[in-house]
Structure 1
């Protein structure tokens, strides 16, 4: 009886010792994330579309900070490439059209609900969970969440998903100013009373 108890105490003491050693090592040798990766990731559109050749925006941000080309983000287009070039001190390179062409207007998916068979293939393909529905039930798209990545269209067996332009509202409208003017904080152009 005493042998079992002393063995249990010895094993517990060894486990506590190793636990304390691992805890100390975790604190002492903690590796901080690369802050440049965080900044690059913040500039990317977060569509998680994979058109750049990476499974999402974060892995592409890591690749860019390691020297990969900054011109592979199709949804971000030239504006994102310019922002990345400014941040990283690199030369601006136009979008690599091997990965696709940037849309002229922001697009969103729309499911023709009367034709939807509820197969859930679009839900599985959506990288940002912008599609609601259940098996054998009609699906619908949360417009505000949809990034327009187009990944839900191809898996649809009944071809009931269309990519449509996002409607311009007072919240989404912006003035397409010439480079260097407008749209950026601090560069707002005051309106004057013309009358």
Structure 2
């Protein structure tokens, strides 16, 4: 029984020592974030859709803040987000979706083909904004007011 208590105390002390080392290292080697990138990231809708050409909102914010990327690439945020970013960076507003020069880009929406849906839930797992609801082996539904049209649910769908 004595050996058990020695092991418990030894592991507890090791945990405490390693915790203190990690705590010190996290403060000593902390990397300061760019406040402009943080502000841009806070303005973006955080849908992580990839329509801007970046894998998520944070990489796009870093590209806009540090690399001079265009501010009009966020389709889910639209003109409202572009205007806020332009105001933050003190640059001229650009037309939304600068390549197409459309006044209002067409809104995309995911659609589930009820005849072919097998209820595998892969689309639910892929949706970054939880716009698809359903259960395993049951019909799924897209909540149109939440769907950003990112098409991330299309690739994993087996049907």
**Shorter-chain TM-score: what band?**
0.5 to 0.7
For 1:20 and 1:121, locate their aligned partners in 2 and report how far apart those are by CA, in whole Å: 41
Q: How does 1:4-43 map onto structure 2 within 5 Å?
A: 19-43=19-43
1:18-39 CA-partner distances (Å, limit 9, x unpaired): 6534422323443343332232
Of the structure 1 ranges 121-130 and 56-65, higher mean CA displacement relative to structure 2 is found in: 121-130
* Structure 2 partner of 1:141: 142
TM (normalized to structure 2)? 0.66
Q: How far 1:113 sits from its partner (Å)? A: 3.9
1:125 is aligned to 2:126? yes
* Structure 2 partner of 1:67: 67
Structure 1 runs not aligned, ≥5 long: 1-8, 159-195
For 2:148 and 2:118, locate their aligned partners in 1 and report how far apart those are by CA, in whole Å: 23
* Structure 1 partner of 2:3: none
For 2:23 and 2:158, locate their aligned partners in 1 and report how far apart those are by CA, in whole Å: 52
1:53 is aligned to 2:53? yes
Q: How far 1:153 sits from its partner (Å)? A: 4.6
Of the structure 1 ranges 17-26 and 79-88, higher mean CA displacement relative to structure 2 is found in: 17-26
Question: Is contact 1:113-1:140 (8 Å) kept?
Answer: no
The one of 88, 95, 98 aligned to 1:96: 98
Structure 2 runs not aligned, ≥5 long: 1-8
For 1:16 and 1:74, locate their aligned partners in 2 and report how far apart those are by CA, in whole Å: 48
Of the structure 1 ranges 145-154 and 78-87, higher mean CA displacement relative to structure 2 is found in: 145-154
Structure 1 residues 124 and 97, CA gap change in structure 2 (3 angstroms): farther
Question: Is contact 1:52-1:73 (8 Å) kept?
Answer: yes
Of the structure 1 ranges 71-80 and 44-53, higher mean CA displacement relative to structure 2 is found in: 71-80
Larger radius of gyration: 1
Higher helix fraction (1 or 2): 2
For 1:13 and 1:119, locate their aligned partners in 2 and report how far apart those are by CA, in whole Å: 47
Structure 1 residues 128 and 13, CA gap change in structure 2 (3 angstroms): closer
Structure 1 residues 92 and 14, CA gap change in structure 2 (3 angstroms): same
Aligned length: 152
Q: How far 1:87 sits from its partner (Å)? A: 0.6
1:141-160 CA-partner distances (Å, limit 9, x unpaired): 234432232433565565xx
For 2:122 and 2:14, locate their aligned partners in 1 and report how far apart those are by CA, in whole Å: 51
Q: How far 1:13 sits from its partner (Å)? A: 7.3
